[in-house]
Each structure stands twice: as structure tokens, then as C-alpha cells.
């Protein structure tokens, strides 16, 4: 599902690029970046596609569509009895309406933005209960529910190039064993990312 979402975002990018260049108040922001540069537990990447509309010279609204891979970290509260599988890729798909303020009196066009949206966290996490105390080994699939979250970002935009840092906060998900309802850990998919982007369309150049 993660790689199909990458292909969908790229397709939307190519479909949107032509009309975005024809309508000055509307632009398209394409960003990519890295996650986990400040965290030893995760190291991943993201791709964002964001149609945007200028409300005024200083304010912009948008809808950010994003896919992020390898962002989660897991806390296991009972490592003696349970093993939580963390191998393989994991990811988050997000849909976040955004608002941004820009200081246009500076040639680097500093900006500060926020957003609140929905983060799709994936289907499940595999958990194995050890065969101790006479109990047989057993494997569980713990369902992970999607959650709302928020975005804070800031950066610079010299011309059409865009550089930034962002923080995506998603509430931690409790890992609960289905049959015993025992909470054995948490899944954290909040992350800080560094981004490099490019703006397609007019209306974003600094004065």
C-alpha cells in the first residue's frame, strides 16, 4: 500500500502541474525529505504533494497529501513475555489541511505554517507471546487505529526552491493483546523531518 501511494502522489503531481502554471493564485508544492535525523530509533523518508491557494500576499491555504515510511518506534512494556515484530517497512499516509503565513518583505521568504488532519497508521502490528509457564507460543495481530494529528512547520523559500523543517504529532497508539486486553506497549509515529521542495505555478515569488 505504501508504494502504491507513492505512485498515486506522483501521478497527481504530473496531472496538476500544467493547470497550476496557468492560474496565478494557485500553486503546487512538491516536497521530499528525511525523517529521524534527530532520533536514533527511526530513519525514514517522505513525499508530499500539496495544492495551495493564496488568500493574500502573506497567507496561503493548502491540502497536503503525504506518504512517510519508516517512522514508527515501539515501546515494549513486557519484553519477557511478548516480542513485538519491528522488521520491514512501515508508514503513514496523511491528509492535512494547512495554513501558512509568509514574510514577503524578505528575499528568502520565511514562512510559518500549521495544519490539522488525519493520519492513516497502517493495519496491524505482529506480536508473539513466548511459550513460558506451560503456555504455548501464540501470535497476535494487533489492529492499529488511524488517528487525527497536527503539523507545525517553518522554513525559507528563495524563488521556487523551498527548504524547511516540520513536526508531525500523532497520539501514541496503545498495543493491546486481543484476548487478555493487556496493554503491552505503545506505538509512536510522531516525527521531525527536514524537507526540500519545489513550487510549481505563480504567485509565490518574493518582492
Q: Is residue 78 part of a domain?
A: no
- For the record, the C-alpha cell of 157 comes out as 523559500
Question: Residue 92 class from Cβ within 10 Å (0-12 exposed, 13-18 middle, 19+ buried)?
Answer: buried
pLDDT given for residue 170 in this prediction: 92
pLDDT given for residue 167 in this prediction: 95
Domain with 23 in it: 2-73+90-121+145-171+188-200
- How many independent structural domains does the chain possess? 1
CATH number of the domain enclosing 113: 2.40.160.20
Rounded to an integer, what distance in angstroms lies between the CA atom of residue 119 and that of residue 81? 30
- For the record, the C-alpha cell of 194 comes out as 527536514
pTM of the model: 0.78
Q: Is residue 84 part of a domain?
A: no
- DSSP secondary structure, 115-176, as one string: EEEEEE--SEEEEEE---TTPPPEEEEEE---EEEEEEEEEE-STTEEEEEEEEE-PPEEEE
Q: Is residue 128 part of a domain?
A: no
pLDDT given for residue 10 in this prediction: 47
Rounded to an integer, what distance in angstroms lies between the CA atom of residue 83 and that of residue 99? 41
Q: Is residue 57 part of a domain?
A: yes
- DSSP secondary structure, 55-90, as one string: SSSSEEEEEEEEEEES--EEEES-TTTEEE---S--
Q: Is residue 150 part of a domain?
A: yes
Q: Is residue 85 part of a domain?
A: no
The pLDDT tens digits along the chain (207 residues) read: 544 444 445 444 444 444 443 446 899 999 999 998 777 667 889 999 999 999 998 999 999 999 998 878 888 888 788 888 766 557 889 999 999 999 988 788 999 999 999 998 777 788 888 766 666 778 888 888 889 999 999 999 998 999 999 999 999 888 888 877 888 888 888 989 999 999 998 644 444
Assign 1 to helix, strand or coil.
coil
Amino acid at each position: 500500500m505504501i508504494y502504491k501511494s507513492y505512485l498515486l502522489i506522483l501521478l497527481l503531481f504530473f496531472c496538476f502541474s500544467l493547470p497550476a502554471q496557468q492560474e496565478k493564485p494557485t500553486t503546487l508544492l512538491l516536497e521530499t525529505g528525511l525523517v529521524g535525523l534527530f532520533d536514533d530509533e527511526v530513519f525514514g523518508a517522505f513525499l508530499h504533494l500539496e495544492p495551495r491557494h493564496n488568500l493574500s500576499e502573506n497567507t496561503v491555504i493548502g491540502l497536503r497529501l503525504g506518504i512517510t515510511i519508516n517512522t514508527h518506534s515501539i515501546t515494549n512494556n513486557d519484553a519477557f513475555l511478548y516480542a513485538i515484530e519491528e522488521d520491514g517497512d512501515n508508514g503513514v499516509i496523511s491528509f492535512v489541511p494547512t495554513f501558512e503565513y509568509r514574510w514577503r518583505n524578505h528575499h528568502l521568504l520565511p514562512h510559518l505554517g500549521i495544519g490539522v488532519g488525519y493520519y492513516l497508521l497502517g493495519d496491524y502490528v505482529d506480536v508473539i507471546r513466548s511459550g513460558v509457564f506451560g503456555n504455548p507460543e501464540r501470535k497476535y495481530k494487533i489492529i492499529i487505529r488511524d488517528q487525527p494529528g497536527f503539523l507545525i512547520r517553518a522554513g525559507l523559500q528563495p524563488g521556487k526552491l523551498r527548504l524547511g523543517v516540520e513536526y508531525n504529532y500523532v497520539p501514541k497508539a496503545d498495543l493491546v493483546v486481543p484476548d487478555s486486553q493487556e496493554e503491552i506497549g505503545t506505538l509512536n509515529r510522531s516525527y521531525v523531518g527536514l524537507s526540500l521542495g519545489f513550487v510549481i505555478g505563480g504567485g509565490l515569488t518574493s518582492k
